[in-house]
Amino acid sequence: MVAATDTFVAAEPWILSTNVGLRPEPFGALAYHFDTRRLVFLKSPTLVSLVRGLAQHDSAAQAIDAIVAPSTDAAANSYTKALASLAEAGVIERNRTERNRTTEKSDP
Amino acid sequence: MSVPALVEQLKGGLDAPICLTWELTYACNLACVHCLSSSGRRDPDELSTEEALAVVDQLAELQVFYVNIGGGEPMIRRDFFEIVDHCIDQNVGVKFSTNGAFIDQEAAERFAAMELLDIQISLDGIDPETNDAVRGEGSWQSAVAAMDHLKSAGFKNFKISIVATRHNVDQLDQYAELARSYEAQLRVTRLRPSGRGVDSYHDLRLSHDQQRQIYHWLQRNPEVLTGDSFFHLNALGESLPGLNMCGAGRIVCLIDPIGDVYACPFVIHDQFNAGNLRNEGGFAHIWQNSALFTELREPESAGACGSCGSYDACQGGCMATKFFTGLPLDGPDPDCVWGHADEALAAVGAGQAPRPSQDHSKPGSQPVALSVKPRS
């Protein structure tokens, strides 16, 4: 069974897919998609933070600015590309629950 | 940012296995000639329900993505559903391997309603003659009955699991058709000389020609699952889909019914026993600290394969297969596609290859005849 995946658009809101497990590893993280049984590697800790933080932002582009704080366009592009390939693998999906998107703040 | 190739990272080991095989019991209603765990009788020391549920908690804490539950026949355990339900509650996915004998309509419907559950029905021949010669009289019938129950329960995409032998390798196209008719997926894995397979391997293994045949068939059918077990064939050219490496003790392992942790499901032998999870520290301690697993994560030596141009492609093949055929671990696989192991294999005298450290076969049970009976 190959689940349909969302085409990545940086201006849209994204979220870690339901049915994907994300496990920290020394190189970054391993993502496992329980539906497609696909294993995907997130090759840097920053990318892992970005994926985990997507839900708190109105768009992937904003998440990149806030979490990665790239100093050059090239750096920003490399994270945009990384997210696009994660979208293609079904690791992230378009956040359709706009109202539920939270500005999660940790308790003081 | 420079990161070593991922295969290299995986060879160095992960904080926890990606998945592992967990044989729940050595009890089995069948006595397959190639059973990798020599199953038949329950071991009196098997994990209790309470211990098994605690193992699930440990795996959940380590974020093991899924367990391959097997046996013996795992459904023989009376707490089978309790253990599976607990895995799923804890977000540990379950794939389980079964001969299907205990999947009636009620069980099939229960499975169909479960999330994160996948089922593999073993079927080692497209017809009763081919299958039952390896798995025993009546086993084709009960596997197909289980598949019928799953289909009528609406369980989509279960796996039909085949161990490739010289008797069924010509049937793969028919298998693909069978899988389609059940909306199931095909899974073809490599025969290993493990468990009772030490005695049947030489009679069942693919010929060199058949190995080429299956390599090309798998290339033409990339949707077929293989457990990445045919990487030794990558020496023939373009790599088959999947990880091109041995995962033993690096990304996978085996928990046996009494809690012993082995490097992989195919090496139930004292030499590959990393410890028992009943000891202090449990599974995580063994995975992260055992001397055996630490050693398996060291860069391996190509040994006698070092001068062969194909080593990067085939990685020297399967450790378990070399071990139980009496070949050195740092040399060619007995199924080396270039025949580089043929001479060494012929030189291994009778009784010289290691035997599995334990045998749970039923006493007095007759091995199933290996020759395929003609249709009557």
Rounded to whole angstroms, the Cα distance separating B285 from B182 reads 42
What is the SS3 assignment for B313?
helix
φ/ψ of A9, rounded to 5, equals -130, 120
Q: Which of A23, A27, A34 sits opposite B3 (nearest CB)?
A: A27
The pLDDT assigned to A54 comes to 96
A12-40 mean pLDDT: 90
The pLDDT assigned to A46 comes to 95
Kindly state whether B121 is in contact with chain A, defined as any CB-CB distance less than 8 angstroms: no
Kindly state whether A23 is in contact with chain B, defined as any CB-CB distance less than 8 angstroms: yes
The pLDDT assigned to B78 comes to 97
Kindly state whether B111 is in contact with chain A, defined as any CB-CB distance less than 8 angstroms: no
Q: Write the secondary structure of B5-68 as one string of H (helix), E (strand) and C (coil).
A: CHHHHHHCCCCCCCEEEEEEECECCCCCCCCCCCCECCCCCCCCHHHHHHHHHHHHHCCCCEEE
Sequence-separated (6 or more) residues with CB below 8 Å from residue A73: none
What is the SS3 assignment for B243?
coil
Residue to test with chain B: of A1, A20, A27, most B Cβ within 10 A: A27
Contacts of A43 in chain B (CB under 8 A): 3, 6
Kindly state whether B63 is in contact with chain A, defined as any CB-CB distance less than 8 angstroms: yes
Contacts of A1 in chain B (CB under 8 A): 156-157
Name the minimum distance, in Å, from the CA of A80 to any CA of chain B.
Answer: 16
Residue B349 is encoded by which pair of tokens?
Answer: 């005298």
Name the residue among A67, A34, A73, A22 with its Cα closest to residue A49. Answer: A67
Rounded to whole angstroms, the Cα distance separating A41 from A31 reads 6
Contacts of A26 in chain B (CB under 8 A): 9, 15
Looking at chain B, which residue has its C-alpha nearest residue A1? B157
Contacts of B14 in chain A (CB under 8 A): 25, 30
Contacts of A39 in chain B (CB under 8 A): 18, 65
Rounded to whole angstroms, the Cα distance separating B360 from A41 reads 40
Residue A107 has pLDDT above 60, yes or no: no
Name the residue among B280, B278, B245 with its Cα closest to residue B264. Answer: B245
Kindly state whether A1 is in contact with chain B, defined as any CB-CB distance less than 8 angstroms: yes
Kindly state whether B14 is in contact with chain A, defined as any CB-CB distance less than 8 angstroms: yes
Rounded to whole angstroms, the Cα distance separating B59 from B253 reads 12
What is the SS3 assignment for A18?
coil
Sequence-separated (6 or more) residues with CB below 8 Å from residue B229: B189, B190, B318
Contacts of A41 in chain B (CB under 8 A): 6
Rounded to whole angstroms, the Cα distance separating B214 from B176 reads 13
Kindly state whether B180 is in contact with chain A, defined as any CB-CB distance less than 8 angstroms: no
Q: Which of B1, B18, B91 sits opposite A39 (nearest CB)?
A: B18
Residue to test with chain A: of B8, B9, B250, most A Cβ within 10 A: B9
Contacts of B16 in chain A (CB under 8 A): 23
Q: How many helices (H) and strands (E) does chain A have?
A: 3, 5
The pLDDT assigned to B271 comes to 97
Contacts of B93 in chain A (CB under 8 A): 32, 34
pTM of the entire predicted model: 0.90
Name the minimum distance, in Å, from the CA of A34 to any CA of chain B.
Answer: 7
Is B3–A26 a contact, with Cβ atoms under 8 angstroms apart?
no
Looking at chain A, which residue has its C-alpha nearest residue B15? A25
A74-94 mean pLDDT: 95
Side-chain half-sphere exposure of B119, counting CA atoms within 13 A: 31
| Beta pairing, strands B117-122 & B93-98 | parallel
φ/ψ of B64, rounded to 5, equals -65, 130
Task: Count Cβ atoms below 10 Å from residue B351 Cβ, excluding itself.
Answer: 7
Contacts of B18 in chain A (CB under 8 A): 30, 32, 39
Sequence-separated (6 or more) residues with CB below 8 Å from residue B316: B232, B300, B302, B303, B305, B322, B330, B331, B332, B333
- CA–CA distances in Å: residue B10 to residues A108, B15, B147: 39, 10, 36
The pLDDT assigned to B365 comes to 62
- CA–CA distances in Å: residue B247 to residues A61, B4, B228, B252, B337: 37, 17, 10, 6, 21
Rounded to whole angstroms, the Cα distance separating A50 from B239 reads 33
Kindly state whether A74 is in contact with chain B, defined as any CB-CB distance less than 8 angstroms: no
Name the residue among B249, B173, B366 with its Cα closest to residue B14. Answer: B249
| Helix residue spans in B105-263 (DSSP H) | 105-112, 128-135, 139-152, 172-181, 197-204, 208-220
Tokens 């160095």 belong to residue:
B12
Rounded to whole angstroms, the Cα distance separating B122 from B143 reads 7
Regions of chain B where pLDDT drops below 70: 1-4, 365-376
The secondary structure element, H or E, covering residue A15 is strand A14-16
Name the residue among A27, A36, A31, A26 with its Cα closest to residue A54. Answer: A31
